[in-house]
Amino acid sequence: MKTVIVGAVAGGMSAATRLRRLDPAAEIVVCERGEHVSYANCGLPYHIGGVIADRQALLLQTPDSLRARFDLDVRTRTEVTAIDRARRLVRLREAGGREYEESYDRLVLSPGAAPFVPDLPGVERALTLRSVSDADRFTALLADRRPRTAVVVGGGFIGLETAENLRRRGLRVSLVELDRQVLAPLDAEMVTAVHAELRRHDVALHLGTALTKVLPDAVQLDGGRLLDADLVVLAIGVRPETGLARAAGLTIGPRGGIAVDETMRTSDPHIYAVGDAVEKSDHLSGEAALIPLANTANRQGRLAADAIAGRPARLDGRLGTAIVQIFDLTVAVTGWSEKRLRAAGRPYQAIHTHPASHAGYYPGARTMALKLLFDPHDGRMLGAQAVGGDGVDKRIDVIATAMRAGLTADQLADLELAYAPAFGSAKDPVNMLGYIADNLLTDRQRTVQWHELDAAVGAGATLIDVRTAAEHAAGHIPGSINLPVDELGDRLPEVPDGEVIVYCEVGQRGHTATALLTGRGRRAANLDGGYRTWRAGMTSPWADPRHG
């Protein structure tokens, strides 16, 4: 059996090595149009910034090492230009120009995705970052031209990593983003800290702004403004590399990726496809989704090999867990965001907390913002977001694991997470989410979201700040009266009749206050996430302009 693989990085090479382990006799040809194979795309921004100084560290394998260990026939600078499905042949073109055909029994496509380059004047000068060769172009330019200014277009994961690493190299960096915020998977109130962190590190943010033109040493934005730009970087998303597949008549899915079944098989039973080029199934909706992440590409590569070797194997729907470091901030997400749920009309309940990374009484604890979204009827978890430092990755990984396994939000309370003072809390932040979800799911408590507050107050609710007088004095929600939780029992008569919304700094004292008031027969709700979430939301670019 002969398998030809297109693309020699995450998905393609994982398929190749696995196939060899499953079938020592298989003939395996891997075609890569670029110069390098098995490289760490994810490390490229850090190589540009000098964090990964040694370029060699990015090259995990070479054609020689792969031949020696796995008996793979790896052909670099060799592009697959066409598939002849009827004859089961692919057409290859070497960088030198030579063209030839190669037959296959099974074909695996892992061509990845290409950075999207809009059709704008002067755009040829802009750099994109996908391969080691791309990174080489960056480092050559940085060394030769000693640029002083850079404009990064696109505030996604790769754009932010690139912006940070160019700052690290001392450039003045502007970030241009069409959306009103960076990092689309984050909700408004969660992204505020990211904007602040970027500004704190002197990245000039141009949000809600489009690039219109690339000039020789500047870029032009919509509205005509010019930004100095010795370097222009485009990081406005990637598009599945579907050229080959389209030309061969393979089914392309609704999101523009190659359509595959659970075993990675395309519409042609002899052709498999994996990685950034294919559509995955969304864990929540089952709909087609493009999730260009390395974990899934590697997983799919192995699965395709399993399928080819006749092993049972199928891929579940994807959550799209992702993480990015932005200077001293870590941002991680899994599943859906609130805005996506809202847009889809899916009922959800949100929880915001601001827990410490580990026990507050042990030195070095750092506060993170944590958000959980779940179904208000059955408790199914829908998504989570975390912004902070230490421990953000852990909490999102735990939640992603619980989501994959189908736990409900309140079941997070029962997780036994490793606790010693340097690592967590006796009630870990994830347990605490479970407690809060439990309170909401069993209808013991009602909460109000930061963006619902105006309407609630408009409808006549009284707003009570249950923090201390000092906290209240330092900043509070306009119109709120101060009635510290510790005095609530004695001062109950002061609480006005009718609907009451209480808030504290993060929601925890508010929870106790709400419970006390509700227990005394009042109609009370807690402001979810407290003053901190409200403020983050109201200072976000999405907030009602009246409070902007």
Ligand X SMILES: CC(C)(COP(=O)(O)OP(=O)(O)OC[C@H]1O[C@@H](n2cnc3c(N)ncnc32)[C@H](O)[C@@H]1OP(=O)(O)O)[C@@H](O)C(=O)NCCC(=O)NCCS
Ligand Y SMILES: Cc1cc2nc3c(=O)[nH]c(=O)nc-3n(C[C@H](O)[C@H](O)[C@H](O)COP(=O)(O)OP(=O)(O)OC[C@H]3O[C@@H](n4cnc5c(N)ncnc54)[C@H](O)[C@@H]3O)c2cc1C
Of the pair 191, 440, the CB lying nearest ligand X is at 440
317 binds, among a second copy, ligand Y, ligand X, none (CB under 5 to 8 A by kind): none
Q: Tell me which H or E stretch contains 272.
A: strand 271-273
CB-count burial class (<10 Å; 0-12, 13-18, 19+) for 139: middle
* Residue 247 sits in the site that holds ligand Y (CB under 6 A): no
Count the residues in the chain. Answer: 548
Cα 448 from Cα 352, distance rounded (Å):
11
Stretch that binds ligand Y, among 27-35, 138-146, 259-267, 374-382 (CB under 6 A): 27-35
CB of 317 to ligand X, least distance (A): 21
Stretch that binds ligand Y, among 146-154, 174-182, 292-300, 340-348 (CB under 6 A): 292-300
> Which one of the listed residues 22, 40, 42, 60 is annotated catalytic?
42
Q: Which amino acid is at 143?
A: A
> CA neighbours within 13 Å on the CB side: how many for 42?
13
Residue 420 backbone class (left: φ over 0; alpha: ψ -120 to 50; beta: rest): beta
* Residue 244 sits in the site that holds ligand Y (CB under 6 A): yes
Which residue's CB atom is positioned nearest to ligand Y? 275
CA nearest to 14, candidates 274, 368, 344 = 274
CB of 74 to a second copy, least distance (A): 14
* Residue 250 sits in the site that holds a second copy (CB under 8 A): no
Q: Would you call 73 helix, strand, or coil by DSSP?
A: strand
Which residue's CB atom is positioned nearest to ligand X? 507
Of the pair 250, 436, the CB lying nearest ligand X is at 436
38 binds, among ligand X, ligand Y, a second copy, none (CB under 5 to 8 A by kind): ligand X
Q: Would you call 132 helix, strand, or coil by DSSP?
A: helix
CB-count burial class (<10 Å; 0-12, 13-18, 19+) for 245: buried
Of the pair 281, 480, the CB lying nearest ligand Y is at 281
Q: Which two tokens stand for residue 186?
A: 């984050």
Q: Which of 5, 44, 66, 173 binds ligand Y (CB under 6 A)?
A: 44
Distances (CA, A) of 27 to 13, 70, 102, 301: 14, 11, 12, 17
- What's the farthest any 2 CA atoms get from each other in the chain? 89
Phi, psi of 178 (to 5 degrees): -70, -40
Query: Does the active-site annotation cover 42?
Result: yes
Cα 14 from Cα 2, distance rounded (Å):
16
Phi, psi of 253 (to 5 degrees): -85, 180
11 binds, among a second copy, ligand Y, ligand X, none (CB under 5 to 8 A by kind): ligand Y
* Residue 172 sits in the site that holds ligand Y (CB under 6 A): no
Of the pair 241, 306, the CB lying nearest ligand Y is at 241
For a second copy, the binding residues in 319-358 under the rule CB under 8 A are: 319-325, 330, 332, 334
Of the pair 257, 529, the CB lying nearest ligand X is at 529
Cα 393 from Cα 429, distance rounded (Å):
12
129 binds, among ligand X, ligand Y, a second copy, none (CB under 5 to 8 A by kind): ligand Y
* Residue 5 sits in the site that holds a second copy (CB under 8 A): no
* Residue 18 sits in the site that holds ligand Y (CB under 6 A): no
Q: Which amino acid is at 367?
A: T
Rounded to 10 deg, the angle between the 188-200 and 157-168 helix axes is 20
Cα 78 from Cα 67, distance rounded (Å):
16
CB-count burial class (<10 Å; 0-12, 13-18, 19+) for 518: middle
Cα 259 from Cα 159, distance rounded (Å):
28
111 binds, among a second copy, ligand X, ligand Y, none (CB under 5 to 8 A by kind): ligand Y
For a second copy, the binding residues in 397-456 under the rule CB under 8 A are: 397-398, 400-402, 404-407, 413-424, 426-428, 431, 435, 442, 444
Q: Which of 275, 320, 379, 429 binds ligand Y (CB under 6 A)?
A: 275
Site string for ligand Y, 54-93 (x = CB under 6 A): -------------------------xx-------------
Cα 113 from Cα 11, distance rounded (Å):
12
Q: Would you call 428 helix, strand, or coil by DSSP?
A: coil
* Residue 11 sits in the site that holds ligand Y (CB under 6 A): yes
**Cross-strand pairs, 384:** 334, 372
470 binds, among ligand Y, a second copy, ligand X, none (CB under 5 to 8 A by kind): none
Of the pair 223, 363, the CB lying nearest a second copy is at 363
CB of 436 to ligand X, least distance (A): 5
Residues designated catalytic: 42
Site for ligand Y, rule CB under 6 A: 6-7, 9-12, 31-34, 41-42, 44-45, 79-80, 110-112, 129-131, 158, 241, 244, 275-277, 292-295, 297, 419-420
